[in-house]
Amino acid sequence: EIVLTQTPATLSLSPGARATLSCRASQSVTSYLAWYQQKPGQAPRLLIYDASHRATGIPARFSGNGSGTDFTLTISSLEPEDFAVYYCQQRNNWPLTFGGGTKVDIK
């Protein structure tokens, strides 16, 4: 199965700062990668699909980039509601797999 490694495990930033999250795949997933946001006590929410396409209703401050094995999620200016855990997920091969997550917390 494809292993997705997310770095860093925790990112401590202030509101208004730029956040850059990384997801590396153990083999190419072409552009078939998504990003999800999960807040405490809530189900995840789809942010980005196919590496760079924002899902419906997702603000423009969220952007995704990458292809092959290396991907990034960028939050251009952190809003208070953006402090959460972020997961990447690939759909290039079965089984579908998620990364271990990056927690973005308030510095």
Binding-site ranges for another protein (CB under 8 A): 1, 32, 34, 36, 38, 43-46, 49, 55-56, 87, 89, 91, 94-101
Taking the complex as a whole, the smallest distance from the CB of residue 16 to another protein amounts, in Å, to 28
4 and 93 Cβ atoms separated by less than 8 Å: no
Tokens, residue 69: 């094995």
Give the nearest distance from C-beta 104 to another protein in angstroms: 15
CB of 84 vs another protein, minimal distance in Å: 13
Distances (CA, A) of 77 to 41, 91, 96: 24, 28, 30
Pick the closer one to another protein by CB: 9 or 60.
9
Instruction: For residues 99 and 79, give the distance between their C-alpha atoms in angstroms, rounded to a whole number.
Output: 23
Give the nearer residue to another protein in terms of CB position, either 14 or 56: 56
**Closest to another protein by CB, 17 or 68:** 68
Length of the chain: 107
Does residue 102 sit in helix, strand or coil? strand
User: Considering beta carbons, is residue 19 or 29 the nearer one to another protein?
Assistant: 29
| CA nearest neighbour of 67 among 21, 107, 26, 31 | 31
Report in angstroms how near the CB of residue 20 gets to another protein at its nearest. 20
